[in-house]
Structure formats: structure tokens, C-alpha cells
Chains A and B, each alone.
Chain A
Amino acid sequence: MTNQITDTEAGTSLWQDAWLRMRKNKIALASILVFTITCFFCFVIAWFCKDPNQVNLANKFSGPSSEHWIGTDALGRDLFSRILYGGQVSILVGLIATAVSVTIGIIYGALAGFFGGRVDAIMMRIVDTLFSIPFLMIVIVLQAVLSEWSRDTSAWIVTNLNWDKGFTDRITNVLPLFFALGLLGWLTLARIVRAQVQSLKEREFVEAATSLGLSKLTILFRHIIPNTLGPTVVYATLTVPGFIMYEATLSYLGLGVESPNSSWGILIKEGANYLETNPQLLIFPGIIFSITLFALNFLGDGLRDALDVRASKD
């Protein structure tokens, strides 16, 4: 018997398989590219741009110039810069709120689905109840309750951790919104994950893992949850644009991010005021906003197609 380990052939995991399939989907690839470029602009290039909050009333509504590439807005602020900084907020809201929702959703749904019985019944009734609460109401309540808290936290961070005030303010200002979105965004995913876990629970490889004497939690986290990730990834990718839309809607209604912070929603709201005189204030943010949403949606579609054709049995 040889103990020598000869060359082992590398395997192709189901993820790699899916990636190979997605590589053929040109629209999905283009979407990845577009989104990456957008993020690059918003997070990297933005640092080198002008201050988006720099008011210059002498220069309002100016057209494109060497100083202001797309011109300025109603308060003379650089539009290009405002779009990039606005993108930071919008994209971060989308990504972070999704990350929070996904984490809570997976754990909650997996536990409910795995343990079943009364535990599951109670957990899902909680989900049903939360589902029936109007989202806007939660946001308004949370904004009211947490706005003072966020100001206090910001002050504390500035004094004790010496962070830049503008930067800190921007972050803590958005936190109530994050909370609201994260609090309610996990519900659908919890249901999806729960359904999947319920069906996976009956699969023979789970029975085999039980027969090996593995603990229930080990089985849940090592065997079951990784196999729920397919639909979860697709759902998450489609949730990001959903949250970006939410933020835009809320900001448009004045309930989201506060001025002078900008987000794409705020820019669209401000731009809408001047639609007849200076449409560029609405059009440019609108275009970037739409392109990003398109890209994310196409990416989600592409992922779903790539993951849908599961590795076939023989």
C-alpha cells in the first residue's frame, strides 16, 4: 500500500461550476464591471474631488467647466462630487443593510426550520407580525427615537476617539436608517432559508451526518446552511438594489438621510425641484442611479441562472 500522495486532481466545486456558467453571460459580466467602476468612483475617486458640501452661492447652477465637471447645484456645490459622495451613502446603505439582513435572516430561518415544532411556529408568527407592520412607520419611529442617540454617539466619538466630525456625523446620521432597514429586511430571507432548511433536513446526507454522532449545531452550520446559500446569494444580490431604492424613496420623502449629507435619493429630490430650469441636476444623478440598479438586477438574474442549473445527477 502506498503512502505516497500522488498528484490529486483538483475538483470543481458547485460555486466554480456556477462561475464558469456565469462567465458566458455577457450581460452579467458587464454588470459586474459597471458596478465595480461605479464603486471605484464613489469610494476612491471621491477622495480627490471637491468638498460636496462647499456652498458657493455666487456660482450656482453653473454649467460644465474645468473646475466643476458637471457644473454646480442650487447652492453652488459641485455636482460631480455630490454624486460620488451620494453614491457612497446609497451603496453603503444597500450593502450594509443587506449584509445585516442576510445574517439575521439566515440564522433565524435556519434555526426555525431546523428545530421545527413549537419553536418554529412561534418564530414564524413573530415574522408574520413584523411583516404586517408598515415599514414607513418603523422608519419614522426609529428616526425619531434614534436621532438624539446618534447625535450623542457622534459627539462621544469625536471627543473620545478624535475622528473627524464631518465624517463621523455622516456615519451616525445614517445609522437609524440602517437599523430600520436591517430590522425588517431579513424577514423574507428568513422564510426562504427556513423552507430550504426544512427540505434539506430530510436529505440523506443529513441523516448520515446524524449517524456519525455529530451535534445538531454542527450539522446545521456545516451541512445544512452551506447548502442554502444558492438562493440566498441570489436573493441578497437582488436585495441590494432594493435597499438602495428604499433609501432613495425615504430620502425623497425627507425621512432618510439628512442634509447636508447627500445620497442619490436626496440629489434626485433636490434635482426634481429644478426640473424645468436645470434638468441636469436631476438627469445626472438619475442616470447613475438607474445604471447602478440595472447592473445589480442583471447581476442577480445572471447569478440565479448560473446557480439554477444545479450540477446534474446522472
Chain B
Amino acid sequence: MPLLEVNNLRTYFHTRNGIVRAVDGVSFSVEKGKTIGIVGESGSGKSVSCYSLLGLLPMPPGRIESGEAIFDKNTDLLSCGEKVLRTIRGKRIGMIFQDPMTSLNPYMRIADQIIEPLRLHMGMDKGSALKKAIHALDEVGIPEPDNRITMYPHEFSGGMRQRVMIAMALITNPEILIADEPTTALDVTIQKQILDLIKKRQQELGTAVIFITHDLAVISEICEDVNIMYAGRIIERASANELFANPRHAYTRSLLKSIPAHQTKGEKLYTIPGLPPDTSQTIPGCAFRERNQIGDQSKCLTDSRPEFKEIEPNHWAQNCPGCLS
């Protein structure tokens, strides 16, 4: 039984313009100690799926319409209630966010923020918590941690702040770490350091990682299994090696093709025409049909949603005849 098993999660937002089906039937599982990636563009639902798991969405207008998220065999995160969630959030499931400037409290010293989970979840006293915190900062590569721990967030650079966030998230030794676009706002050289750091700490602690990003290159560096999301659903899933070597769905293939690094200079860049679909409208058939240039648009399903099936061993995709190669 995997550490976390999400089944048929549907999160809708009831806005005055209609119902936005941000997550529309998503299922995935996370094994102990493994890294899975969730890739998608804005509006794909990748962040909302994970926020739903931890009850971090505003509820209205958000609402979990269906689904279960079984954590550690017996707790359904979606229905266990706020009290139980609070014992898991920050203690057994940690999270790091995209913008380290806004996810750290600018009015509190680093020390106070980083010992908070220790005192809250593990009941440690201030002295030992502080010692553990300094050690944690050292492990993420912050120089002179005993000095720096008394500083404020704005005295750190972006990359440093992200390291602090990682230290904070991992300090209670959680079983799962959810990383929501942690390197998107960082420079490329810092990004590499942070990715290496996440990999290293993960191996040392045996934490499972759910890595959310839009950057396929980052996913290929760090993840073992990859889920590609589009319009609120998972469109293809496979191991990283398999997915990049043998992408089957038209969207995945189009995405890979449009990466500038893969294109020859001088030729026009391959582009996916059009815009991602408006998730406040129901899409009767294949969600990618209108933009499907690389496959056979005429064969795309128009009145029934494609099923998510295992098309090859351990390789799943939405079974739309116009999209699958």
C-alpha cells in the first residue's frame, strides 16, 4: 500500500462566473521515499491538487466534490477534519512554496519561524529546538548558521531563503515533502543548487517528494515518476525515463517538441496553437482536441471523456485515439 494514495480527486471552485473545474478526477499514488513529479502549465490544476490534500484552499469558493486521499493506510486527508489535518500538516507532510519572500513571515526572525514546528508538533523546549534548528540550517548549507539564525528574511538572498524554507519543511522529518515550483523564481545556478539539495536531503531522510513544476527539464533531473496534467486531469503518467524516451500523448509530445533547447536555430519554433482550455466550461470530449496539431485531430473524442488507461506496462495515458501515437 503506497504512502499516499489519491483517488478520483475533484476540486471545483464555485465562482460567480460559473463552476471552475480546477481538478477533475485526478488519481495518483506516492510510494515511500520516491519522488514523483506533477507537470502542467498554469490552469492545469497541478497546484490545486496538492493544496486540496492539505486543506489549504479557501472553501468557499473551493469545494472538494469527491475523492479520497489515503495517507499512511488509514487517514483520509480529505475527510478527516481540520483537527487531524493539523497534526499532519507541517509535521508529517511538509510543504515548500514558490516565492520564498512571501512564504516566510517578514516580521519574524528566522529562528522564531524555524523552531515553531518543533515546539508545536514535537513539544520541544526553546533551547533544544534552537539547537536542532541551527543544525538544520547547517545541513541545508547556510554558512554560519548560529549567526544567521537571528536574522530576518529580507537579509537573505532568494536562494538562501529557499534553503531556509527547505530546512523548515524537513525539520520535523516528514514522510512527504510537497514542493510547489520551488525553483521557478530562482536563477539557474541557484536552481541547480536547490535541486541538488532536495535530492540529497531526500536520500538522507528517506522522504517522499511530490514535485510540482511547469519545467520539464527540472522534472527530468529530479523525478522518478512523472504525471502530466492538462485541464484538471492527468493526461499521461510514466517513469521519467520512459516518458521522455517514449511520450505517447499528443500534449506531452507537443510540449517536448516546443522546448527551445530542442529546436534547431533558424527554424520556426514548434508551437502548440491556441490557449489552454477554460476550465469553467465543460469539455465534452478530449480536452486537447482543439490544439491537437501533432496527432490526428479528426480522431479525437468529441462526446465522451477519454479514459485514463494503462496503455503499456506502467505507462498510463488518456485513451483518446486522436492523441495517442
Contact = CB atoms under 8 A, between A and B. Distances in A.
Interface of A: 20, 24, 314
A314 to B, nearest CB: 6
Contact of A24 (B16, B42, B43): B16
B184 to A, nearest CB: 15
A24 B42 CA distance: 29
Contacts of A314: 42-43
4 contacts: A20-B16, A24-B16, A314-B42, A314-B43
Contacts of A20: 16
Contacts of B16: 20, 24
Q: Is the interface of A mostly helix, strand, loop or mixed?
A: loop
A251 B38 CA distance: 68
Nearest to B42: A314
Q: Is the interface of B mostly helix, strand, loop or mixed?
A: loop
* Interface size range on B against A: under 10
A288 B43 CA distance: 51
Contacts of B42: 314
A314 B42 CA distance: 8
Contacts of B43: 314
Interface of B: 16, 42-43
A20 B16 CA distance: 10
A71 B142 CA distance: 81
B24 to A, nearest CB: 19
A217 B97 CA distance: 42
A88 to B, nearest CB: 39
A24 to B, nearest CB: 7
A20 B42 CA distance: 26
Nearest to B43: A314
A279 B65 CA distance: 59
B70 to A, nearest CB: 33
Q: Which 4 A-B pairs have the closest CB atoms?
A: A314-B42, A24-B16, A314-B43, A20-B16
A314 B20 CA distance: 14
A24 B16 CA distance: 10
B99 to A, nearest CB: 14
A20 B15 CA distance: 13
Nearest to A314: B42
Nearest to A21: B16
B213 to A, nearest CB: 17
A273 to B, nearest CB: 52
Nearest to B17: A20
A17 to B, nearest CB: 11
A20 B17 CA distance: 11
A35 B43 CA distance: 43
B13 to A, nearest CB: 12
A172 to B, nearest CB: 50
Nearest to A24: B16
A24 B17 CA distance: 13
A23 to B, nearest CB: 10
A209 to B, nearest CB: 28
Contacts of A24: 16
A258 B42 CA distance: 65
B58 to A, nearest CB: 12
A314 B43 CA distance: 9
B28 to A, nearest CB: 25
A258 B301 CA distance: 81
B154 to A, nearest CB: 18
A212 B42 CA distance: 32
